[in-house]
Amino acid sequence: MTSFGARLSAALDDRGSLCVGVDPHAALLTAWGLTDDVDGLARFADACVSAFGDTAAVVKPQSAFFERFGAQGIAVLERTVAGCRELGALVVLDVKRGDIGSTMAAYAEAYLAPGAPLAADAITVSPYLGVGSLQPVFDLVESVGAGVFVLAATSNPEGPQLQHARTPAGRTVAQTVVDEMTSRNSGAAPLGSHGVVAGATIEPHVVSFSGLNGPILAPGIGAQGGTSDDVRRVFGSSTRDVIPSVSRDVLRHGSDVTELRDAVRRLAGEFAFLRA
């Protein structure tokens, strides 16, 4: 069994440091000339699989945009996840689940257990019922070679109210999350499988990623204003492990597979310094 961290490190070296978000919201389907229904969703998803599956290191479908179509939408999501993985991309399923006990264990099995219909390489999770509540996910990460990205310091404007708050020990909540993942990645090589989500537009003083030894999924690039300079500014010496996450700056090119692939390659080139 090869760990997610090892597979991810190899993929970033091979395909470049970029995560492409697959976010089929209604306005984007319309912009692509597609209908806002399951048929339009399926056409959108098929184009993304063709464009990104053999090009991007990481593909990140946003589950909510598939879920809104019910069971048929979930079926499209299953095909999208499986199709990207078959073509060599690692799939981070963006579900942001966070619960306790047997419920959290069920979420972990749904998205990470080998053979599950929605099995992905990694998922995003929320730690705000306590990092320890995510233990069922951490257990499965270790036992099946999966990965996890825990929300730490996100790029949305509402995030700081909670994430910048300080614990009795004086650390920010965001730093506490990062420190928990740091301890779980101790000794992993070449890279741990317990990652964090941290926006490329956050203030650099909020959290230190030094010693994390795990991947940093960094949204906020492109349409949200983040740049390669922001990545350098925010993540400093940890930039090698950063995965810039881009959605709109790729998907705005429309349904032409060649143009979508070219956009991925261009953006990956802009962040080539991360793995230099």
Residue 190: asked if its preceding bond is cis (omega within 30°), the reply is yes
Question: What is the identity of the amino acid at 42?
Answer: A
Which CA distances in Å does 194 have to 31, 107, 166, 266?
36, 17, 23, 28
Per the listing, tokens 């740091």 go with 182
Query: Rg (Cα) of the chain, in Å, rounded?
Result: 18
What does the block give as tokens for 31?
């912009």
What are the two backbone dihedrals, phi and then psi, of residue 123, each rounded to the nearest 5 degrees? -135, 165
Helix (H) or strand (E) holding 40: helix 38-52
Question: What is the identity of the amino acid at 273?
Answer: F
CA distance 17 to 154: 19
CA distance 237 to 229: 13
CA distance 82 to 123: 14
What residues does 61 pair with on adjacent strands? Answer: 22
- What are the catalytic residues? 96
| DSSP-derived 3-state class of residue 194 | strand
